[in-house]
Amino acid sequence: MKPELNVGDPPRVRHVFAYGTLIEPACLDAVLGHRHLGERLAARLAGYQRMRVPMYPYPYVVPTPDASVDGVLLMDLDPYDMQALDRYEEVESGVYRRETVEVEAWGCGPRPISVQADVYAAGQQLLAATAP
């Protein structure tokens, strides 16, 4: 059973644009501590670039005009899930930061839909550690 966050407040579900390790269902489930039952949609994040450098083992995204990143939109994550993801992405220590963005997602139809989601972008600590 999950502990209460704020008694009386309705839980607020969020969506996350994933582009690295969290696109793998087994990794996501391990981070969350349970099976993620929400939808997973193909998605694209405009205005960001996916980076990978030899000195850091995981990918990260940075704002970049005229660039885009393909990934997966993870739907319907609750506040407890978001806390687990923040810990995994080391948000508190500044490795990544959580930003709210608009992504294009593809479901059953031929055209994408625009969805508000969170993305874990490079934080100050990561940017400083990977600067040339």
Q: Give the residue extent of every domain in the chain.
A: 14-130
- In the prediction, which pLDDT does 124 show? 94
Kindly tell me if the per-residue pLDDT of 69 is higher than 70. yes
- Tokens 């989601």 belong to 117
The pLDDT-based confidence of 89 (bands split at 50, 70, 90) is very high
Arch. (CATH architecture) of 14-130: Roll (3.10)
Q: Residue 43: is it exposed, middle or buried by C-beta count within 10 angstroms (0-12/13-18/19+)?
A: buried
- In the prediction, which pLDDT does 108 show? 74
Kindly tell me if the per-residue pLDDT of 10 is higher than 70. no
Higher pLDDT, 9 or 49: 49
3-class DSSP string for the chain: CCCCCCCCCCCCCEEEEECCHHHCHHHHHHHHCCCCCCCEEEEEEEEEEEEEECCEEEEEEEEEEEEEEEEEEEEEECHHHHHHHHHHCCCCCCCEEEEEEEEEEECCCCCCEEEEEEEEEECHHHHHHHCC
Span 36-65, average pLDDT: 94
Query: With a threshold of 0.85, does the pTM exceed it?
Result: yes
- In the prediction, which pLDDT does 58 show? 92
- In the prediction, which pLDDT does 4 show? 45
